[in-house]
Structure 1
């Protein structure tokens, strides 16, 4: 089994594909969303549904960007916490905050 660094180097880490919320409401909401999309598919013409799908794709892309930004922010903050813990220099939070934004 590869180390985390080896997996990162070889492009085998895909957190966006492997993260599934453990909230009990997640699967319920996914099913509800799927059911509602099917209702709209039946209600709209093929052209109108294609437009709705295009809108949902745009939303998915922007949401993915937001998740990536959130991941980077959280990772940087976590790394900053570890640096602060290991160096015992609490003022690092102020100097590193420029990297978090």
Structure 2
């Protein structure tokens, strides 16, 4: 296996692709969302549903941005903790 730095460099480290939430409600909620989207698809015109999908894509993008920011912030806090631990030795 390559080093973690090589994995980052080559773009092979993508934790968001391997995350499976452990919350027991996740699958249930996900199924409900899918069912509701299918209901909208049946009720809306093709153009209206396209606009709805664009809205969902924007929501996905903002959620992805928020997740990225939270990850980066959490990583930085973790590094500060590590730094503090080593400074106290």
Superposition TM-score, scaled by structure 1 size: 0.82
Provide the aligned C-alpha RMSD in A.
1.3
Separation in structure 1 between the aligned mates of residue 58 and residue 39 of structure 2, nearest angstrom: 20
1:35-93 Cα offsets, whole Å, 9 max, x none, are 1100110011111100100100011111111000000000000111111111118xxxx
Rounded to whole Å, the distance in 2 between the matches of 1:31 and 1:87 is 49
- What CA distance in whole angstroms lies between the structure 2 residues aligned with 1:22 and 1:5? 28
Where relative contact order (Cα < 8 A, 6+ residues apart) is larger, the structure is: 1
Find runs of 4+ consecutive structure 1 residues off by over 6 angstroms.
none
Q: TM-score, normalised by structure 2?
A: 0.93
Query: How many residue pairs were aligned?
Result: 89
Unaligned runs of 5+ in 2: none
Which position in structure 2 is the counterpart of 1:58?
58
